[in-house]
Structure 1
């Protein structure tokens, strides 16, 4: 089918009217901004690792480029990542509701990852920033036993009329995950249903537990040692002297006597 410039502009205008209509109904429409002016779609370890894993499966090969283009054109809205689920609205010839179901990471597989990371992650900041040793990176990104989902663990659903297993709208959403992980890498662990804190060393985990428990309180602490005073000894408090208030009638009588003498 041949599309003229006028047809494209009319389609954009129609989509914009539909978006405005939904906004008036109270729906949110937040576009997922892909990095502009640079060749790489993702810039951090987690975002790039997600995209590399996605592109490593030949079953997705023919559909991925179009989805990448859709994302760069700002056609992905309201992308949300929840445990085992992605959802978004993608603008094509119409607005399409797109969702992706991803199986939780098997417990046995996660346990192996945690055991392999023992002593290799010093802090949560290092983990989320991707500042990890080469050995641990290989474990996390392993295509078979790593943290990223395999094709058999992924199921797609889109309201578009394309009956292919992965339509371009789904592809755009999957690439969108990589962009989102650039700023919120913790969402990968949310998606796979695991707790990233389990990858920390014992010392780091203990510190996090101490900071999060009873926040703002000094429960169980030795306050005498902290403040350098003996709290068992009572400190006498000097009460302020009470000033006797003079009745109002006496004041009035004195004033009257002064006037009389004058």
Structure 2
């Protein structure tokens, strides 16, 4: 295989699991780093794989060749019998294996049957003619190259454990046919299934189940997303700046949702509808992305540049509710209108109430550039006309006089 320039050694689950097993059990991290450098430089020759052993010639940086071997314990006949029996009992496993596919959860099910497929501590025994007593850079490089082989064919792992692919599949095929032809026992009396209770009853009875553990503490800040600053350039059409921005905002949003979930009384709050594409684009734009990302968000939300800036200003004052007040104009029903008028009458003493001109859910102060907008939740939103456009002037208030004072004070 060509050198692995600018990419990880393993792309698939099996290759990455092999590397994790190697790195978790390594005694000398320095030798692992040396092995990565050699493997990345293409210093590993053709790899020979056979039961219990992998072999290759690995060249030093000065060109000196070394024969390197890594030994892996073969599974015993009893372990192979348990593995094959487990696979035959699970229709998904046998179907996948006969189709030359190895599902990742095969590792967990094999371990439950007492068969470890991936190497553990001390399972990879190194032999190299450089006479190192443990893993050296040459044997580590060989292991990294094997991860690339597992990317192409995970059955290589089973070959190292003692069974070749053809032999394994033939035995699986025979076992599956034998199992299918076996008659079901009919003469033996069937034991009655134990009686139980429904899950709802079990959870309702606090004496049946142990108490749940306490909630975890909220972290001090959102987590950091992974960096995309790699040695290889991005794929064609991939906007790295946009992806990094989205990853960072996903972390911030996850932190906000966790904080809300851990807050007292969260279980009594109604579940909100998901944001629309237009609303979510405004939410992201409120996080101050770069100009290129902002332009894409404006297009996604069908806003002009100025329109998006206005929507962002509303969002920062009150999220989705503030955005809807900005963009929606609606006619209050009679009972809603009556309550709004009552609130306006009670907000000022006699003679102090300004003259208001009503239009739908909006009350504009006559002779002034300030306005109150009534939200569907009963709150009042202050607005002010700037450069000919009504602009959000502050957060909502339950008292219209308070909201109007905010709008008037923003001059």
TM-score, length-scaled by structure 2: 0.37
Gaps of 5+ in 2: 181-411
Task: Report 1:61-100 matches (<5 A).
Answer: 61-92=29-60, 93=62, 94-100=64-70
Per-residue CA distance 1:211-244 (angstroms, 9 max, x = gap): xxxxxxxxxxxxxxxxxxxxxxxxxxxxxxxxxx
- Which contiguous aligned blocks of 4+ residues in structure 1 show a shift greater than 4 angstroms? 198-201, 203-206
CA RMSD of the aligned region, Å?
3.0
CA distance in 1, matches of 2:9, 2:178: 33
Residue of structure 2 aligned with 1:186, choices 152, 155, 175: 155
Task: Report 1:1-262 matches (<5 A).
Answer: 32-38=1-7, 40-92=8-60, 93=62, 94-117=64-87, 118-119=89-90, 120-121=92-93, 122-124=95-97, 128-131=100-103, 134=105, 136-140=106-110, 145-160=115-130, 163-194=132-163, 195-197=167-169, 198=171, 202=176
Q: Is the 8 A contact 1:80 1:88 kept in 2?
A: yes
CA distance in 1, matches of 2:111, 2:11: 16
- 1:140 CA displacement: 4.3
- 1:88 CA displacement: 0.6
Change (3 A) 1:148 1:199: farther
Equivalent pairs counted in the alignment come to 169
CA distance in 2, matches of 1:204, 1:65: 49
Q: 3-state SS of the aligned residue for 1:46?
A: helix
- 1:52 CA displacement: 1.6
CA distance in 2, matches of 1:180, 1:204: 33
TM-score, length-scaled by structure 1: 0.55
- 1:109 CA displacement: 2.8
Q: 3-state SS of the aligned residue for 1:105?
A: coil
Q: Is the 8 A contact 1:34 1:41 kept in 2?
A: no
CA distance in 2, matches of 1:116, 1:72: 38
Q: 3-state SS of the aligned residue for 2:116?
A: coil
Q: Is the 8 A contact 1:50 1:148 kept in 2?
A: yes
- Ranked by relative contact order (alpha carbons within 8 Å, sequence separation 6 or more), the top structure is 1
